[in-house]
């Protein structure tokens, strides 16, 4: 393809990645205001973030096969339209139930945005430039993460939480216009395949039961849901090996580089995703800062990630990406070790150091790890690889916040989050950080295992 067409694909992927993450990251700042408006307790409050991530996890694999069958650009446009509709609906919500309903719809749109944007880059960009292009796409994710706390903090503080959703509407419309006018054609790799509706049903029900149960392990229902979900996911894996056109090609996991990179991705997001929420709760409930002030300091980590992602992505075109990923996760682990001791007396400078290390570590990990996943499969399997990468991210993020919900419920019960319970919030946060540190170490070892594998990448990466 011509360079200008490739550049257009990267720009559109950057924009859609940015706005799919903007609300997911920024809504953390608005959670206390939303919860107060609708009278939510701490358990329901944590579901404001978790429910959208859970839906993304459920719809990610279907989005992979559907994008490959009908075209990644077409799927990306549909995803933006659904996301746009949900954003408008969230603005008009009149109760906790109606708001959470539109968060569900937003999750469906987000699943297609995540999968189709990444697949489009891999299909359109030459292998020797893939890492750099993926780095720019990941930069969109991190830049959204860096700007959204500041922008959303300003909006929530001055105009109320609904303004966050109003803000994204014109930009989503702009994304649709750019895709229609700037990117010719489409990419279809599974055009002749039948949609695996049975596989989708088994996977969707399995992941839904597993993650919901995971957040409720303190009661019998939660344990039963977790076990049932795990059994269904096992059945899904077996079923996919027996059908002609599976929802997901399980054979890809025979490549140890693909498998180890996905495990590393899952563990990294499971261990890191809760940090932003923990710090936000610490700033607003323990230190008594407002949403705007909290947003200003939370910008530190994602802005560093945004600067690191293109560089690490470019390096991963020349250096073994899993080596870079292992180093990145090692640095991120130091962040969690520091935050294990987070309390009301922790100096701000120490928190800032931890956030800087998190930004460097995750910035060095994500682009190379994504490149390892996407480059370890044949070109025709890129929608599946993109779906796997997105699934690992969203499942990891959802389980991370589920872990947060579980620990907070264990320590605080049904109490509303407020400054009067600051001691319980500190205790809950420290327990979460201890668990996440152990998971982060697993991610490091997963990357190291992939380095030793004799499986090959489909590029000139060594």
Residue 462 has pLDDT above 60, yes or no: no
Residue 284 has pLDDT above 50, yes or no: yes
In a domain, 14, yes or no: yes
Quick one: average pLDDT of 323-352? 93
In a domain, 460, yes or no: no
169 in the same domain as 49: yes
> In whole numbers, what is the pLDDT of the chain averaged over residues?
83
385 in the same domain as 263: yes
214 in the same domain as 189: no
Q: Record the pTM.
A: 0.72
Residue 25 has pLDDT above 50, yes or no: yes
Residues 6+ apart with CB under 8 A from 219: none
> Which residue, of 221, 242, 263, is where some domain finishes?
242
Q: pLDDT tier at 354 (50, 70, 90 boundaries)?
A: very high
In a domain, 461, yes or no: no
326 in the same domain as 252: yes
In a domain, 462, yes or no: no
pLDDT digits (tens, 9 = 90+) for 217-275: 778 888 999 999 999 999 998 998 888 777 778 888 888 888 899 999 999 989 988 88
Residue 431: its pLDDT value, please?
A: 95
Task: For residue 407, give the nearest of 428, 430, 434 by alpha carbon.
Answer: 428
214 in the same domain as 155: no
Residue 124: its pLDDT value, please?
A: 67
Q: pLDDT tier at 460 (50, 70, 90 boundaries)?
A: very low
Q: pLDDT tier at 4 (50, 70, 90 boundaries)?
A: low
- Provide the number of structural domains found in the chain: 2
Q: Highest mean pLDDT: which of 13-17, 222-226, 370-374, 378-382? A: 222-226
Residue 3: its pLDDT value, please?
A: 40
CA 357, CA 233: separation in Å to the nearest integer?
A: 35
Residue 38: its pLDDT value, please?
A: 85
Length of the chain counted residue by residue: 462
Residue 191 has pLDDT above 70, yes or no: no
> Which residue, of 219, 242, 265, is where some domain finishes?
242
Quick one: average pLDDT of 423-437? 93
345 in the same domain as 316: yes
158 in the same domain as 143: yes
Q: pLDDT tier at 146 (50, 70, 90 boundaries)?
A: low
In a domain, 457, yes or no: no
Identify the CATH number of the domain in which residue 434 sits.
Answer: 1.20.1250.20
Domain that holds residue 224: 197-242
Residue 455: its pLDDT value, please?
A: 62
Residue 163 has pLDDT above 70, yes or no: yes
């Amino acid at each position: 393809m011509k360079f200008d067409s490739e550049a257009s694909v990267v720009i559109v992927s950057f924009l859609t990645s940015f706005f799919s993450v903007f609300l997911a990251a920024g809504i953390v700042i608005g959670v206390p205001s939303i919860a107060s408006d609708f009278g939510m307790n701490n358990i329901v409050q944590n579901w404001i973030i978790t429910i959208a991530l859970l839906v993304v996890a459920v719809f990610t694999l279907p989005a992979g096969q559907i994008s490959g069958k009908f075209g990644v650009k077409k799927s990306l446009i549909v995803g933006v339209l659904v996301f746009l509709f949900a954003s408008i609906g969230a603005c008009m919500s009149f109760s906790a139930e109606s708001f959470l309903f539109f968060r569900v719809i937003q999750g469906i749109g987000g699943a297609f945005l995540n999968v189709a944007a990444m697949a489009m880059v891999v299909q359109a960009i030459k292998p020797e430039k893939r890492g750099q292009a993926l780095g720019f796409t990941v930069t969109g994710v991190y830049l959204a993460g860096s700007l959204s706390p500041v922008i959303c903090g300003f909006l929530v503080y001055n105009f109320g939480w609904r303004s966050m959703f109003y803000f994204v509407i014109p930009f989503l419309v702009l994304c649709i216009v750019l895709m229609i006018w700037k990117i010719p054609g489409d990419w279809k790799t599974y055009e002749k395949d039948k949609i695996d509706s049975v596989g989708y049903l088994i996977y969707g029900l399995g992941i839904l039961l597993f993650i919901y149960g995971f957040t409720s392990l303190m009661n019998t229902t939660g344990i039963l849901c977790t076990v049932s979900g795990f059994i269904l996911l096992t059945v899904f894996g077996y079923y996919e090996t027996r059908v002609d056109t599976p929802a997901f090609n399980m054979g890809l996991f025979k490549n140890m580089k693909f498998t180890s990179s996905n495990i590393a991705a899952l563990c990294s997001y499971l261990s890191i995703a809760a940090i932003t929420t923990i710090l936000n709760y610490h700033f607003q409930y323990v230190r008594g800062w407002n949403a705007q002030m909290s947003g200003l300091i939370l910008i530190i980590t994602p802005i560093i990630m945004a600067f690191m992602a293109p560089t690490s992505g470019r390096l991963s075109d020349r250096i073994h990406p899993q080596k870079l990923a292992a180093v990145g996760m090692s640095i991120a682990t130091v962040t969690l070790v520091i935050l294990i001791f987070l309390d009301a007396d922790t100096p701000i400078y120490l928190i800032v150091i931890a956030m800087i290390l998190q930004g460097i570590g995750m910035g060095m990990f994500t682009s190379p790890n994504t490149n390892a996943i996407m480059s370890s499969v044949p070109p025709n399997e890129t929608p599946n690889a993109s779906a796997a990468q997105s699934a690992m991210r969203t499942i990891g993020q959802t389980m991370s916040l589920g872990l947060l919900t579980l620990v907070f419920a264990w320590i605080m019960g049904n109490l509303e989050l407020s400054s009067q319970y600051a001691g319980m919030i500190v205790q809950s946060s420290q327990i979460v950080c201890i668990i996440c540190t152990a998971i982060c170490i697993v991610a490091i070892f997963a990357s190291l295992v992939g380095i030793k594998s004799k499986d090959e990448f489909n590029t000139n990466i060594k």
